[in-house]
Structure 1
Amino acid sequence: MTDQLRVTTADGLSLVAQAEGDEAALKVVLIGGTAQVASLWAGVAAGLADSYRIITFDGRDVGDSDRASTSYSTDTLAADAIAVLDAFGGGAAAFAGISLGGCVALQVARLYPERVWAVATGSCWARTDQHLQNQFKFWIDLNENHGFGLVFRLMSFMAFSVETQQVMGDMSGLAAAVEAGTDADAFRRQVEADLSHNLTDDELAEIRAPLLAMWGDQDLIVPRRYAEQLAAAVPNAELVGLAPVSHSMMVDHPEQFIGNVRSWLDKHRDASPVVSDTGV
Structure 2
Amino acid sequence: MTKSKLPETRYAQSGEVSIAYQMMGEGPVDLILVPGFISHIEFQHDLPGYTAFLRRLASFGRVVTFDKRGQGMSDRMSGAPSLEVRMDDVRAVMDTIGSKRAALVGFSEGGCMSVLFAATYPERVSHLILIGCFSRSADRWSDEAWEARLDQILRLWGAGELTKTIAPSEAGKPAVVAQYAKWERLASSPGALRTLLQLNRQIDVSAILPTLQVPALVLHSKADLQVPVDLGRKLAAGISGVKYIENPAGDHAVWTSNNETVPGQIEEFVTGRRDHGAVEVERVLATVLFTDIVDSTRSAAAMGDERWLRLLGDHDQIARDMVGKHRGNLVKSTGDGVLATFDGPGRAVRCAIALPRQ
Same fold (TM over 0.5): yes
| Deviation larger for 132-141 or 71-80 | 132-141
Aligned equivalents of 1:216, 1:131: Cα separation in 2: 16
| Deviation larger for 251-260 or 114-123 | 251-260
Picking from 236, 240, 247, the partner of 2:252 is 247
C-alpha contact 1:147 1:179 (8 A) present in aligned 2 = no
Partner amino acid for 1:183? S
- CA distance 1:137–1:258, change in 2 (3 Å): farther
> Structure 1: which 4+ aligned runs deviate by more than 6 Å?
none
C-alpha contact 1:72 1:192 (8 A) present in aligned 2 = no
| Percent of aligned positions that are identical | 22
Aligned length: 260
Q: Where does structure 2 lack aligned partners over 5 or more consecutive residues?
A: 2-6, 45-49, 274-358
Counterpart in the other structure of 2:165 = 158
Picking from 190, 209, 221, the partner of 1:216 is 221
Counterpart in the other structure of 1:101 = 110
- CA distance 1:62–1:179, change in 2 (3 Å): closer
Q: Is residue 38 of structure 1 aligned with residue 41 of structure 2?
A: yes
Residues 131-175 of structure 1, C-alpha deviations (whole Å, 9 max, x = no match): 33656544532354x24135x41x2111124x4434x34776556
Give matches, 1:45-56, under 5 Å: 45-56=54-65
Aligned equivalents of 1:137, 1:250: Cα separation in 2: 29
- CA distance 1:70–1:236, change in 2 (3 Å): same
C-alpha contact 1:160 1:246 (8 A) present in aligned 2 = yes
Q: Where does structure 1 lack aligned partners over 5 or more consecutive residues?
A: 269-280
Q: Is residue 117 of structure 1 aligned with residue 122 of structure 2?
A: no
Residues 198-243 of structure 1, C-alpha deviations (whole Å, 9 max, x = no match): 012x421111111111111211221111111121111121111223
- CA distance 1:127–1:253, change in 2 (3 Å): farther
C-alpha contact 1:61 1:187 (8 A) present in aligned 2 = no
Aligned equivalents of 2:147, 2:175: Cα separation in 1: 25
- CA distance 1:164–1:254, change in 2 (3 Å): farther
Counterpart in the other structure of 1:272 = none
SS of equivalent to 1:94: strand
- CA distance 1:119–1:133, change in 2 (3 Å): farther
| Deviation larger for 97-106 or 182-191 | 182-191
Aligned equivalents of 1:133, 1:42: Cα separation in 2: 36
Quote the offset at 1:125 in angstroms: 0.5
TM-score norm. by structure 1 comes to: 0.82
Counterpart in the other structure of 1:140 = 150
Partner amino acid for 2:247? L
Quote the offset at 1:3 in angstroms: 5.5
Counterpart in the other structure of 2:197 = 191
C-alpha contact 1:159 1:248 (8 A) present in aligned 2 = yes
Counterpart in the other structure of 2:342 = none
Higher relative contact order structure (alpha carbons within 8 Å, sequence separation ≥ 6): 1
Picking from 4, 15, 21, the partner of 1:17 is 21
- CA distance 1:178–1:38, change in 2 (3 Å): closer
SS of equivalent to 2:33: strand
C-alpha contact 2:102 2:127 (8 A) present in aligned 1 = yes
Quote the offset at 1:114 in angstroms: 1.1
Counterpart in the other structure of 1:276 = none
Give matches, 1:229-244, under 5 Å: 229-244=234-249
Quote the offset at 1:254 in angstroms: 5.5
Aligned equivalents of 1:253, 1:133: Cα separation in 2: 34
- Give RMSD over aligned pairs: 2.6
C-alpha contact 2:138 2:201 (8 A) present in aligned 1 = no
- CA distance 1:137–1:43, change in 2 (3 Å): farther
C-alpha contact 2:30 2:103 (8 A) present in aligned 1 = yes
